[in-house]
Amino acid sequence: MNRPSFSPPTHLFSHRFGPFWLLLIIFLSISLLTRVALLLKTGSAAEPGPANILQMFGLGLAFDIVAASYFFIPLALFLFLVPNRIYRWPPFRWILLAGTAVWIFIMLFNAAAEWTFWDEFGSRYNFIAVDYLIYTNEVIGNIRESYPVAPILGGLTLLAGLIAWGIRHWLWASHDVESRYSGRAGWLLLLLAVPLLSFSFVDFRLKDRSANRYVNSLSGNGIYEFFAAAYNNELDFATFYHSLPIDQAYARVREQLPTPHSRLASKDARDLTRIVSYPGPEKRLNVVLISVESLSASFMTRFGSRKGITPRLDALAKQSLLFTNLYATGTRTVRGLEALALSVPPTPGQSIVKRPNNDSLFSLGGVFKSKGYDVRFMYGGYGYFDNMNDFFDGNGYKVIDRTAIPAERIHHENIWGVADEDLFTQALIEADKAHAAGKPSFMQIMTTSNHRPFTYPEGRIDIPSKTGRPGGVKYTDWAIGDFIDRAAAKPWFANTVFVIVADHCASSAGKSDIPVNRYHIPALIFSPKHIQAAEFDRLTSQIDLLPTLLGLLNFSYKSRFLGYDMFDLEAGRERIFLGTYQDLGYVRNGKLVKLDSRRGKGVFKPDFKEGTADKLPGDAELESDAASWYQATAWAFGHGGLKWIPQQEEPARVGGGTPGGK
């Protein structure tokens, strides 16, 4: 008896657009497996109950279909345009098979890329992924140094080839069928109508239905999220966010700006300028501001770590003015640089560091330059990354980056830059130059070693290079301690203030949209001769640090900073600003106001340890204050209100006594 042979149901794909439906099934299958893998990686943090599972996989499928409708536009056009005589040419079936293998490889490569992106950021693609396409040298180099790229690519290529070969009978079924342009035009119009309708009616924020950030992210599709992030790169505040009439927003901010030793400079309703003036002489001390890559407060022993990876910072903290309740404004280096250079809340969309017309702004470097300082920004990588060179050069700083460091002085380098110790060696040389010229010096130094691939010179610490974040943290800690030790031998050391602060936390992901615990960073102000060791536990924003520093130096100046000198601020007025790429947060009096880009607003009770946020009844005054700060900042930047103002005239002294008991 003859045994029936298995014959795949090729008739399902026996038409010109058969390859389209076949690859669509593969796309949806890979998307489903990617979602499952990311959910398993996230674990209990995604709170995988029935409702959340339904959202992740129900909405997720819808977004996968929408993403596919965009992703397969070239394939639909190709299948429509190829003439019948070419498509049915016998060798063309092998061309079709090879093209299918390439298409499948792209899908598999995207799945692998999503896994690595989630591993780093706990999110689907966002603005960071868009930026990464611009800075391909650093990003590709980072990937090559962090992962076994050749085996991964080889494995993906082999898998793509095997899948393509396995579906060849279904694929070739379309090769044997006659097809006319008139017959396939209707299919093309249908397939093009889906992305057109999606563009008009589908918004990436439709997935944001859960209070759990991971659930919302897993409900999306990485490819769709990438293009949504690119499209929404910059957002007009008044269009997308809850806002007030602009004069009302300005009035609220102007009312809250003054402190005992600063006053509004004019009666202009749209002027944020203040006159800051303290009694007594100014302290023209050298200042070294070290912004440390990804230094979460939780890495330090003082904040509960038991890993012992910050021994030098832990020791310095006991000799410094330590800010124990300080919060970053964002989750990327450019946000930290923006906060530390400009003292402004984070505007929605891209950081000001990367925007057009961001030169001649009122900056920390400009204030020091007006006081006769040598002003430098120093970075261990190439400063074109994240537009750092243009931004700092256009705002009063001399830029020193990787190109200024001779090869013979480099102990180690990776794709992001030279080892922190080599950057600090260059900083010592620059400080010596300023001292020899008889000028006070201000240096803002941006470290790079605490960043994947976490490589550094061997033998410096007891954790081998390239073994993960703890090693990156501990090496940077060692390099900072070594820098302070070497600086202590310099003649300028006694008259120098060292400020050590993180740019942002190492991880930004959490259960809520704005997990407050993921913004908690340390800051130390170290100057044994001039600043008494203490702990400062009042709620402080990253944008408050530089006005506080200038207050400690007793500087008087005209200001367009929107941060406070915390020692000059009355109790009860503390607030912080927290931003993602779309959502904006404002915390005051234990309440978090969240503003989203659908003009939504809400008040929450944030858990500063766990990062959760419980919904509270609305608070119109607090919500209006939150909107006003962000709205006025965005409007001021767009209309010249944050530009530099001349400092020729010495501001009139106001008030009396010592500000904040400093």
Q: Regarding beta strands 286-292 and 321-327, do their DSSP bridges make them parallel or antiparallel, or are they unpaired? A: unpaired
List pLDDT tens digits, range 607-619.
999 889 999 999 9
Percent of the chain's residues with pLDDT above 70: 93
Residue 347: per-residue pLDDT: 86
Nearest 5°: the CA angle 90, 94, 99 is 135
d(CA 533, CA 527): 9
Give the H/E segment covering residue 136. Answer: helix 136-146
In the listed set 231, 247, 282, which residue is the last one of a domain according to the structure?
A: 231
Residue 5: per-residue pLDDT: 45
Q: Which domain holds residue 79?
A: 10-231
| Residues 187 and 318 both lie in one domain | no
Secondary structure (DSSP) of 431-497: HHHHHHTT--EEEEEE--SSSTT----TTSSSS-TTS-HHHHHHHHHHHHHHHHHHHTTSTTGGGEE
150 CB neighbour count, 10 Å cutoff: 9
d(CA 54, CA 64): 15
185's CB contacts (< 8 A; 6+ apart) are: 80
In the listed set 231, 258, 283, which residue is the last one of a domain according to the structure?
A: 231
For residue 377, which of 336, 437, 329, 344 has the smallest C-alpha distance? 336
Give 310's pLDDT tier (boundaries 50, 70, 90). very high
Where helices occur in 167-265 by DSSP H, the ranges are 168-172, 181-201, 213-218, 222-231, 237-240, 246-256
d(CA 357, CA 387): 12
| Residues 442 and 475 both lie in one domain | yes
| Residues 29 and 169 both lie in one domain | yes
d(CA 376, CA 450): 22
d(CA 222, CA 232): 15
Instruction: Answer yes or no: is 1 within a domain.
Output: no
| Residues 268 and 398 both lie in one domain | yes
- pTM of the entire predicted model: 0.77
Instruction: Answer yes or no: is 392 within a domain.
Output: yes
List pLDDT tens digits, range 465-488.
999 999 999 999 999 999 999 999
d(CA 68, CA 422): 47
List, in sequence order, every residue forming a beta bridge with 523; answer none if it has no partner: 323, 501
Instruction: Answer yes or no: is 5 within a domain.
Output: no
Q: What end-to-end distance do the CA atoms of the chain give, in Å?
A: 100
Chain centre distance of CA 607: 22
Instruction: Answer yes or no: is 429 within a domain.
Output: yes
Give 1's pLDDT tier (boundaries 50, 70, 90). very low
In the listed set 231, 256, 290, which residue is the last one of a domain according to the structure?
A: 231
* Residue 204 token pair: 């990436």
Question: Has residue 561 got a pLDDT over 70?
Answer: yes
Specify the number of domains making up the chain: 2
For residue 164, which of 154, 176, 156 has the smallest C-alpha distance? 156
Q: Which CATH number do you get for residue 580?
A: 3.40.720.10
Residue 477: per-residue pLDDT: 98
In whole numbers, what is the pLDDT of the chain averaged over residues? 90
Secondary structure (DSSP) of 547-572: HHHHHHTT--EEE---S--TTSSPTT
Torsion of CA 525, 530, 535, 541, to 10 degrees: -40
| Residues 342 and 466 both lie in one domain | yes
